[in-house]
Amino acid sequence: MDPPKKIDVAATIVAMILFGGMAVVQLLLASRILPSTIAWGGGRGRAGSEERKEGSQDQNEDYEDEDIDADADTPLWLRIASVIAACILLGMAYLVYARAYLYRYPEKSHKSVKILSWVITGFLGLNFLGNLASTSNFERYVFGSVTLVLCICCIIVSMS
């Protein structure tokens, strides 16, 4: 097999950096350093928030500029979900790396890694659409952009 093209290597490196960065963001969300309003759909993530905000059109309207101080009560289940998301993101980074470097060992090239790289690509496409639908401007514009770049990188790696 031919060695990878420069664009394949670049896409792999960018994807791994972005996956790692997003994993760090999830861990910062879990540790309450970042507010939960910037992720998870932009909602407060509180069980029963519908009852407390009856008649409210926007979940963030009481918290202008997604204030960090307004996030002191991020629920445990959302913090656990962020830790799980960080683990999944690191797993995705590993799979992208494995897919990009299968050329070195074609006899060990697993079809499952190739299939999973396309599954990750599809997931990122759906995630991008979810980010666009978020009520959080931060999630919509920042995470949406990062997810789009990740999706493009994964397309390049999956096609290699």
Whether residue 151 contacts residue 114, with contact meaning beta carbons closer than 8 Å, is answered with no
Q: What is the pLDDT of residue 60?
A: 46
**Which tokens is 140 given?**
């919509």
The structure's pTM equals 0.75
- pLDDT, tens digit, for every residue of 121-150? 999 999 999 889 888 888 889 999 999 999
CB count within 10 Å of CB 64 equals: 8
**Which tokens is 47 given?**
């069980």
Q: What is the pLDDT of residue 155?
A: 94
Q: Is the pLDDT of residue 89 over 70?
A: yes
Q: What is the pLDDT of residue 122?
A: 94
Ordered DSSP codes for 110-158: -HHHHHHHHHHHHHHHHHHHHHHT-S-HHIIIIIHHHHHHHHHHHHHHH
Angle at the Cα of 24 (from 149 to 67), degrees rounded to 5? 95
